[in-house]
């Protein structure tokens, strides 16, 4: 169960980021006006993870804490050759680019992570002795990498995960300004390089339409705003969660604040077949199991009842679109307030393909 607080998981305070964290081989520019960040002190229980890149041993090491592997940003910069920059304007470190552009916000709360303006609830980074580390799960779930972790030997081999032959970039719709009392800043994905340009256009139109529909609603709200109202704010971001086997799965988050105790976020997911641009429903992927929906409802009911924040009401799925894919998994999600209180965040439940399909079946077999 993911948890959120304010916009995209947390409302960030300006000036909390320390811009002088050691990244090995030097220090990024220091701006003395920033307060010192929270530091995760080394734990006696921490162990070392030996790091390999495409099978080749490197001199860098990671950290294993509570069974979770953390990779230093220096490894991503110096070995994987990802660009790493610091922005004083955004008060954030940025790793990577395009649909895998990841920002690390280092504050008194810790090291939080966004991908394309999408807050990653599942993972947080570490700042140990002024060195930044990111969890392996971030790299494999959202940044296009594959990790082969061997716990007994303490070795991690990181590789690029095979991806569909396309490029994903971020489009932006921005309007308004803080001094005028309302800001709209929406990031959404667009694809290029697909062999079938008609399919490419169809997918891009669906993704843009979602952003523009949200923008239209925001502009209508702003038109009714009076001068005594607090500043209005509207943001959107996305994460690419699966880009393999001729399928693209994207999760979008749209946030609006127009007064009150807190803003509201809404999530929407798109899973496309790159063969024809069709938006895939659960039945398209798991139809090889005639009881897939009954099985899902049973499992979801059990998981909800085991959650202490659940306030009841779930009797079964009422949509086949509120899901996204990860490597080997499908994640079913629900909206804020749907079955749990706001503070509990978006309920999300992951199931492996093997849990829902007959032995030897693949969710992508019927698509090819």
Question: What pLDDT is recorded for position 121?
Answer: 87
Q: Average pLDDT, stretch 340-353?
A: 95
Contacts of 282 (CB under 8 A, 6+ apart): 292, 293, 296, 317, 320, 323, 330
Average of pLDDT values for 338-351?
94
| Residue 231: CB atoms within 10 Å | 16
Confidence of residue 15 (pLDDT cuts 50, 70, 90): very low
Average pLDDT score over residue span 300-316: 95
Position 161 pLDDT exceeds 90: yes
What pLDDT sits at residue 168? 96
Confidence bin at 189 (pLDDT 50/70/90): very high
pLDDT value of residue 35: 35
The pLDDT score that the predictor gives to residue 6 is 38
Q: Rounded CA gap, 69 and 302, in Å?
A: 30
User: 25: pLDDT confidence band, cut at 50, 70 and 90?
Assistant: very low
Q: What is the DSSP letter of 364?
A: T
List, in order, residues 6 or more apart from 16 with CB less than 8 Å away. 34, 35, 37, 91, 106, 107, 108, 109
Positive/negative CA dihedral, 195, 197, 202, 204: positive
Pair type for strands 329-333 and 348-352: antiparallel
Per-residue pLDDT band for 234 (boundaries 50, 70, 90) equals very high
Integer CA distances (angstroms), 240 to 102, 142, 170, 256, in order: 12, 6, 11, 22
Which pLDDT score, from 0 to 100, does residue 40 have? Answer: 59
Alpha carbon 314 to its chain's center: 26
* Residue 19 confidence (pLDDT): 43
- Average pLDDT, rounded, for the chain: 88
Structure-token match 């860098």, residue found: 60
**Per-residue pLDDT at 190 exceeds 70:** yes
**pLDDT of the residue at 39:** 54
Q: What's the rounded Cα separation, in Å, for the pair 61 and 50?
A: 5
Query: For 255-271, how does the pLDDT look when each residue is reduced to its tens digit (9 = 90+)?
Result: 999 888 889 999 999 99
pLDDT confidence band for 86 (50 / 70 / 90): confident
What pLDDT shows up at residue 236?
A: 96
**Proportion of the chain above pLDDT 90, given as a percent:** 74
CA angle 72/95/325 to nearest 5° reads: 95
Give Dmax over CA atoms of the chain in angstroms: 63
Mean pLDDT confidence for 175-204: 93
Whole-number CA gyration radius for the chain: 21
Residue 89's pLDDT is 75
Lowest mean pLDDT among 31-45, 148-162, 182-196, 328-342: 31-45
**Pairing label, strands 84-87, 56-65:** unpaired
pLDDT band (50, 70, 90) for residue 13: very low
Confidence category of residue 67, pLDDT binned at 50, 70, 90: very high
Enclosing H/E stretch for 157 = strand 155-160
Is 96 in contact with 162 (CB distance < 8 Å)?
Answer: no
In the three-class reduction of DSSP (H, G, I as helix; E, B as strand; rest coil), residue 139 is classed as: helix
Contacts of 294 (CB under 8 A, 6+ apart): none
24 pLDDT above the threshold of 90: no
Mapped onto helix, strand or coil, the DSSP state of residue 251 is: strand
Q: Which two tokens stand for residue 190?
A: 């667009």
pLDDT at residue number 178: 81
Could you report the per-residue pLDDT of 260-302, keeping only the tens digit for each? Answer: 888 999 999 999 999 999 999 999 999 999 999 999 999 999 9
- Residues near 121 by beta carbon (within 8 Å), at least 6 away in sequence: 2, 3, 4, 9, 345, 346
Count of residues making up the chain: 368
Region 162-176: mean pLDDT is: 94
The pLDDT of residue 10 is above 80: no
Q: Which residues contact 38 (CB under 8 A, 6 or more apart)?
A: 106, 107, 108, 109, 110, 111, 127
pLDDT band with cut points at 50, 70 and 90 for residue 241: very high
């Amino acid at each position: 169960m993911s948890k959120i607080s304010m916009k995209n998981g947390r409302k960030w305070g300006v000036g909390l980021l320390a811009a002088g964290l050691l990244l090995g081989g030097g220090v990024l520019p220091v701006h003395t006006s920033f307060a010192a960040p929270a530091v995760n002190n080394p734990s006696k229980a921490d162990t070392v993870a030996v790091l390999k890149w495409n099978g080749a041993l490197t001199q860098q090491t990671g950290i294993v804490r509570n069974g979770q592997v953390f990779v230093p940003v220096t490894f991503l910069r110096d070995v994987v050759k990802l660009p790493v920059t610091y922005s004083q304007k955004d008060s954030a470190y940025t790793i990577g680019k395009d649909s895998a552009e990841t920002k690390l916000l280092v504050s008194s709360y810790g090291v939080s992570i966004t991908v394309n303006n999408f807050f990653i609830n599942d993972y947080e980074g570490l700042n140990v002795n002024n060195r930044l580390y990111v969890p392996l799960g971030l790299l494999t779930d959202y940044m296009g990498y594959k990790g082969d972790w061997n716990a007994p030997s303490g070795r991690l081999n990181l590789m690029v995960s095979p991806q569909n032959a396309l490029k994903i970039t971020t489009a932006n719709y921005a309007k308004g300004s803080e001094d005028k009392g309302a800001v709209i800043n929406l990031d959404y994905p667009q694809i290029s390089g697909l062999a079938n340009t008609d399919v490419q256009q169809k997918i891009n139109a669906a993704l843009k339409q979602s952003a523009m529909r949200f923008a239209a609603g925001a502009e209508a709200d702003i038109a009714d705003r009076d001068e005594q109202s607090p500043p209005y704010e509207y943001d959107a971001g996305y994460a690419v969660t699966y880009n393999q086997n001729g399928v693209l799965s994207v999760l979008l988050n749209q946030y609006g604040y127009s007064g009150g105790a807190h803003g509201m976020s809404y999530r929407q997911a798109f899973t496309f077949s790159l063969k024809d641009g069709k938006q895939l429903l659960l039945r398209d992927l798991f139809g090889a199991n005639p009881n897939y929906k009954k099985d899902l409802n049973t499992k979801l009911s059990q998981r909800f009842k085991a959650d202490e924040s659940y306030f009841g009401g779930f009797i079964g799925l009422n949509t086949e679109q509120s899901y996204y894919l990860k490597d080997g998994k499908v994640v079913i999600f629900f909206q804020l307030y749907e079955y749990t209180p706001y503070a509990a965040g978006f309920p999300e439940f992951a199931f492996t393909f093997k849990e829902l399909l007959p032995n030897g079946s693949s969710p992508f077999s019927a698509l090819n």
